[in-house]
A and B are shown apart, each in its own frame.
Chain A
Amino acid sequence: MKRIGVFVCHCGLNIAGSVAVARVVEAIKDYPGVVHAENYIYMCSDPGQDLVRKAIREKSLNGIVMANCSPFLHERTFRNVVASEGLNPYFCEIANIREHCSWPHAYDKEVATKKAIAIIKATVEKVRRNISLTPMVVPLTKRALVIGGGVAGMQAALDIANGGYEVLLVERSPTIGGHATQLSGTFPTLDRPPCLVAPKMAEVANHPNIKLYTYAEIEEVSGYVGNFTVKIKRKPSYIEDEKCDLCGLCLENCPATFPAEFDRGLSQRKALYLSPQAVPQKLVIDPRSCLHFNGDQCRACEEVCPAKAIDFLQQETIVEKKVGAIIVATGYDLFPRERIGEYAEDPDVIDGLQFERILSPSGPTGGEVRRPSDGKVPQEVVFIQCVGSRDPEHGVPYCSRVCCMYTAKQAVLYKRTVPQGQAYIFYMDIRSDAKGYEEFVQRAMEEDQVLYLRGRVSKVFRDGDKIKVWGVDTLSGKSIEISADLVILATAMVPSPGAKELARKLNIIFDQYGFLTEAHPKLRPVETLTSGIYLAGTAQWPRDLPDTVSSASGSASKILSLFSRKELLHEPTIASVDEEVCSGCGYCVSICAYRAIEIDTKRRVARVNEAVCEGCGACAATCPSGAMQHKNFTARQFFEMIDVATGAYV
């Protein structure tokens, strides 16, 4: 027979403000099985916890119902309290009378009180039938996989590697560094990214704990936290790295050219290429642009290579590795501007990243601001913010977060390069909410004379030598026409291509835009719902550099704390199969989001991989015969809870 104690928390006035806690205690103290009930202002405080300990000792309690906030917040707290008194922690359950009761019924004390009583009684019914459980011990491979070699991936890899653990860093392009290497400067300090990013790239490349896989992709992921198996596909570079000494003869002789990705098409590269500042310094042949791979007999590079390093027959290879945790840092791309019809397809209407290249000393114009069409120094430059973002009809409804700041930065850098020029910025609102950001924008307006126009642009079109921009200044109410030399569109950040496919392989969730979804937006912002997999940087949401680095370090610290354990403990509140009853139909297998169930074909029953099961309960709800039951969430427990809750609540 269970001897149950009920502890009702006031949560200050959060609960006591709408639930008559004393009445609740009165109503519950004589409920069958309840031998103790009391209320206290903050149960989670030390004196509150002591009340629970004292009652367990004095009344020999063996079932605890904590009536307070969501189990998300304090389930662990109180289970630890219960365990400290020698009780099985799974005899303690939370009755959520805050989020489920006092808050939604804040204006009806009567309803809130009655509902609180019903919730507590239902939880008493559950605890009455709880069984004692022990967490499972799972082995742990202390090696991390980081997917994506941009700033987020590099930071995460370095943090983990510096903590003493091995890291595999997989990057699909030939070099690490990501978009940050394309930037001309950073806001609000106007640092030159080479000073910021290049040292990190070198540190990653030379770190004894980091194994770099560039020009590689994730082929397959299986397993679970502590025990993932990943297959990494290394794409053929068609160059034998050990032989190549980067003499550059092949580059000189390659006849094929292709718009350079690094300069976003503003310059040309050869089919055989090596990005400036690439890490590692390894050439690749791009089969899309190489004549040899497109029906031609060309072997120009092979013919001139003194080291005989060219190998057109090179094949992709698969590397299989075990890792204990994964960070996904796949980064961003820009919203395709062709989807915004008002902004003409014109060489002098460019996106933000293209302008970064033009402003960059390593860019196609050597840092001089010259427009793409004729190389003229633009005297009138129009920046348009929110292109694609905050535009549910044509683009995406969300704010891209970084565009206000990088537009201000670009306008400032432009003005400093072309002091006599004029910069106009069309904006909706200016969002400059981080350290030093607002001051930076103010300086751009006041010191650098950037002209901010609050309003939208209706049309951008070519007019002879000029680009006409029609817009409106909503502050003065006047329509505006500018004859610009160059127009820069601050297009929205979107997830990088392939992120969804990768998410499917990893079995993690993405939102309607393709951004990867965190386990909880407030309390678990770097975890995914699949334990052992974490997020970093703009794969999750538009972010600037400081936010990206913070999130990467956040994920890395999660992994460091994971790896600091000897082995993993897994929650025992998971699914289990009654093999006598199971028909082996496999409904549970297909419904399991964690791929934790398989059919034992010999015995024709379902089998739960206990280390993978997250205890979501979908299988138990699906199983038609009730063979699949969730430990301490059995059908019987639910029936009893519903019965009591519906009977008492009016």
Chain B
Amino acid sequence: MGRNAILEVEDGNLLNTLNMLWRKLFEKKVIDALLIPQELPSGINVVQTLVGSPESLESPNPLAPVLPVNSARIVSQMTKVAPSPRRVGVVLRPCELRALIELVKLKQASLENLVLIGIDCFGTYSIKEYSKLAQEGSPPTEDFLKGVKEGREDSSLREACQTCEYPTPMNADLIIGLMGMDFEKSILLQASTPEGERILEALELKDSNETEVAKREEAISQLIAQRTKKRDELLEQTEREVFGLENLLKLFAPCINCRNCKTVCPLCYCKECFFDSPTFEMEAEKYLGWAEKRGTIKMPTDTLLFHLTRMNHMAISCVGCGMCQEACPNDIPVSNIFRLVGLRVQRIFDYVPGRSLEEELPLATFKEDELQEVG
């Protein structure tokens, strides 16, 4: 564990304090640009923005309890072709960071010149829920943080968030530590890499004492325990729902082949999806042949094959961010099913996606002595 510093919250306003922190990062030349969610002028949502100068930081709000997009996709978009030539701070939630690490392993993103700023995550609402709350009156971020402070369990958070067992950032240079903190007074800044240490140095903050660190640790383990329990309940239920061919077909029956799940998944990285390739362009005769053989075929075809193939490709790296489920217009529990399968596969290889850059993708490594008891 690296160095921990205290960031005093001024006037009880955490967002303003953080805003000053971002500006300071620019001033101290720690970063040349910043990727951070900002509130839309209408106030009904936040979007990811890339900010080129501190003056343009109008309404940054990385605490807004909503995840419009898994930003690992955005970092990949920016750094895939060539690494960033200038230093970019990227403010990411834990699931975004983990997805990013997987993408780096898959050569779809580069961490070169990036300053990874991870933020403790208490969960997010769906975009719809968030904008509903925003339109109903008081700013959702404040209400949400108040609820967190009071220890309120919020059942309107996204299912993926309520069952997320990785609420704190892994592999960030700098962690914005909120858990267990009285964030009207102060929060923790934790450096977990040499780069992070240099940033803390530049910010000239005072070190935290051990009690504060212990308080955060305590809060984290409590939250993880609670979420893991919920996760297991959810996955048990999902397993019952999906078990057997009939159930599987039933669950995926509403799929209209819109591929939203693929589009929003941070790890579906293919330039062109196999299912959009000419391999699946069939002659009318072919469809008619199938129809004659089976009486009826569901149109569009190959929807289940699409999901199973995507699962086959994703299971080992699925971070469970739940974006797929959010994007499904027909409420198919895609994420729950993917997590159920993903977790099983990952356990076989003792692999946690996004845990470490050094851990090789299990399906891309060969060990002479593994899986002795298959089948």
Contacts and interface: CB of A to CB of B under 8 A. Distances in A.
Interface of A: 580-587, 590-591, 599, 604, 622, 624-627, 634-636, 639, 647
B211 interface: no
A625 B271 contact: yes
Given A590-B364, A590-B365, A591-B364, A583 B270 contact: yes
B255 to A, nearest CB: 19
Interface residues on B, range: 20 to 34
B366 to A, nearest CB: 8
Interface in B336-375: 360-361, 363-365
Contacts of A647: 293
B269 interface: yes
Contacts of B202: none
A643 to B, nearest CB: 8
B273 interface: yes
B146 interface: no
A583 B271 contact: yes
A581 B271 contact: yes
A634 to B, nearest CB: 8
Contacts of B29: none
Nearest to A640: B286
Contacts of A636: 278-279
B107 interface: yes
A448 to B, nearest CB: 46
B363 to A, nearest CB: 7
Contacts of B107: 583-586, 599, 604
Interface of B: 80-81, 106-108, 269-274, 277-279, 293, 313, 360-361, 363-365
A585 B106 contact: yes
A580 B272 CA distance: 8
Contact of B274 (A587, A590, A591, A625): A625
A353 B183 CA distance: 78
Contacts of A634: 279
User: Residue among B81, B108, B270, B313 with the most chain A CB within 10 A?
Assistant: B270
Contacts of A627: 271-272
A587 B108 contact: no
B365 A581 contact: no
A624 B278 contact: no
A557 B273 CA distance: 49
21 contacts: A580-B272, A581-B277, A583-B270, A583-B271, A585-B106, A585-B108, A585-B269, A586-B107, A586-B364, A587-B361, A587-B363, A624-B270, A624-B274, A625-B270, A625-B271, A625-B273, A625-B274, A626-B274, A626-B277, A626-B279, A636-B279
A35 B293 CA distance: 24
A580 to B, nearest CB: 7
Contacts of B269: 583, 585
A275 to B, nearest CB: 35
A627 to B, nearest CB: 8
A581 B272 contact: yes
B279 A587 contact: no
A591 B360 CA distance: 12
A586 B364 CA distance: 9
Nearest to B360: A590
Contacts of B273: 625
A311 B260 CA distance: 73
Contacts of A625: 270-274, 277
A581 B269 CA distance: 11
Contacts of A626: 274, 277, 279
Identify which of B81, B272, B360 gathers the most chain A CB atoms within 10 Å of its CB: B272
B362 to A, nearest CB: 11
Contacts of B293: 647
B308 to A, nearest CB: 13
A624 B272 contact: no
Contact of B271 (A582, A599, A635, A639): A582
Contacts of A604: 80-81, 107
Given A581-B277, A635-B279, A639-B279, A587 B272 contact: no
Contacts of B270: 581, 583, 624-625
A584 B108 CA distance: 8
Nearest to B270: A625
A617 to B, nearest CB: 15
A635 B279 CA distance: 7
B341 to A, nearest CB: 16
Given A585-B107, A586-B364, A635-B274, 4 more contacts: A585-B106, A586-B107, A590-B364, A624-B313
A599 B108 CA distance: 13
B2 to A, nearest CB: 31
A627 B363 CA distance: 18
B220 to A, nearest CB: 33
Contacts of B274: 624-626, 635
Contacts of A591: 364
A622 B362 CA distance: 13
Contacts of A584: 107
Contacts of A585: 106-108, 269
B263 to A, nearest CB: 15
A649 to B, nearest CB: 13
B45 to A, nearest CB: 30
A587 B271 contact: no
Contacts of A624: 270, 274, 313
A639 B272 CA distance: 19
Nearest to A634: B279
Contacts of A622: 363
A635 B364 CA distance: 21
A622 B270 CA distance: 13
Given A591-B364, A626-B274, A583 B108 contact: yes
A403 B271 CA distance: 61
Nearest to A591: B364
A515 to B, nearest CB: 14
A447 B105 CA distance: 72
A265 B51 CA distance: 76
Contacts of B272: 580-581, 625, 627
B262 to A, nearest CB: 11
A622 B274 CA distance: 12
Contacts of A599: 107
A186 B360 CA distance: 52
A107 B55 CA distance: 83
A584 B110 CA distance: 13
A625 B273 CA distance: 6
A627 B276 CA distance: 12
Given A604-B81, A624-B313, A625-B272, A587 B364 contact: yes
B370 to A, nearest CB: 14
Given A591-B364, A624-B313, A625-B274, A586 B279 contact: no
Contacts of B277: 581, 625-626
Nearest to B365: A590
A624 B262 CA distance: 13
B10 to A, nearest CB: 45
B274 to A, nearest CB: 4
A624 B306 CA distance: 12
B245 to A, nearest CB: 15
B42 to A, nearest CB: 36
B360 to A, nearest CB: 8
A114 to B, nearest CB: 15
A591 B278 CA distance: 25
B311 to A, nearest CB: 11
Nearest to A605: B271
Nearest to A635: B279
A583 B106 CA distance: 9
- The residue among A580, A582, A584, A599 with the most chain B CB atoms within 10 A of its own CB is A584
Contacts of B279: 626, 634-636, 639
Nearest to B305: A639
Contacts of B360: 590
Nearest to B277: A626
Nearest to B278: A636
A587 B278 CA distance: 22
Contacts of B364: 586-587, 590-591
